Amino acid sequence: MPISFSSKSHGPIPVGFFNIETDLLLMDRYFIFSTDFCAWVIEWADRPNLNREERGVYAIQNTDMIGNLTGAIYGFEYTGFIGEVYKLFPFPENPSGFKQKPYGTINRQAIETAIQPFALQLKIPITFSPVDHTIGLGDYIFTKKVFQEIIKYVDAGGMPGWLNGKAPDYVSMMTEQVAVSQHWLFCPKRL
């Protein structure tokens, strides 16, 4: 489940996994596969002098096209992109099944097909400001502390946690790289 993270640019915004069968992360209007996100963080951890770059995301500009997460979870409203995802991968009937699946990456093609009618693929600027201790992900600016909390959230498997309590290898690789990074964004280490 996405949770609220405080951005410097937009105040509290939802960030996180929104369906346990996919590795797609929601960041307000942006959608980023966690495999991509983790690969970015690994690369950034190795490049402490990086100031700016661009990365690809899916963006849904019209918030009505995102859909109603609560309605989709409870099965009474399948609107927008989130509705399409929940048609493919309904919320589990048994609450014990509510765990983030480490194999969600296998559903990437289905999710990419589902998002096409709703989103644009954009290159967004990623900016690093050691003076302000912020990172900008397109329109959204986060403090170093909040960005580290987002990394912890991904590492934990979101609100329900990873199935069997074990993160997939690509997430573990990210946290291991962050733990040894000299990049100001990850020091002091809080993971």
Kindly give the pairing relationship between strand 140-143 and strand 134-137: antiparallel
Per-residue pLDDT of 21-53, as tens digits, reads: 999 999 999 999 999 999 999 999 999 899 999
How many Cβ atoms from other residues are within 10 Å of residue 124's Cβ? Answer: 18
Per-residue pLDDT of 56-92, as tens digits, reads: 999 999 999 999 999 999 999 999 999 999 999 999 9
pLDDT at 190 over 80: no
Q: Cβ neighbours of residue 48 under 8 Å, at least 6 residues apart?
A: 181, 182, 183, 184
Render 40-76 in DSSP notation, one character per residue: HHHHHHT-TT--EEEEEEEE--SGGGT--HHHHHHTS
pLDDT at 189 over 70: no
Give backbone dihedrals phi and psi of 130, rounded to 5 degrees, phi first. -65, -25
| H or E element, residue 31 | strand 30-33
CA-closest candidate to residue 40, choices 135, 117, 119: 135
What is the layout of strands, in order, in the sheet containing 30-33?
3-7, 11-17, 24-27, 30-33, 52-59, 120-129, 134-137, 140-143
Q: Cβ neighbours of residue 146 under 8 Å, at least 6 residues apart?
A: 5, 6, 7
Per-residue pLDDT of 135-171, as tens digits, reads: 999 999 999 999 999 999 999 999 999 999 999 999 9
Q: Give the burial class of 60: count Cβ atoms within 10 A of its Cβ; 0-12 exposed, 13-18 middle, 19 or more buried.
A: buried
Percent of the chain with pLDDT over 90: 93
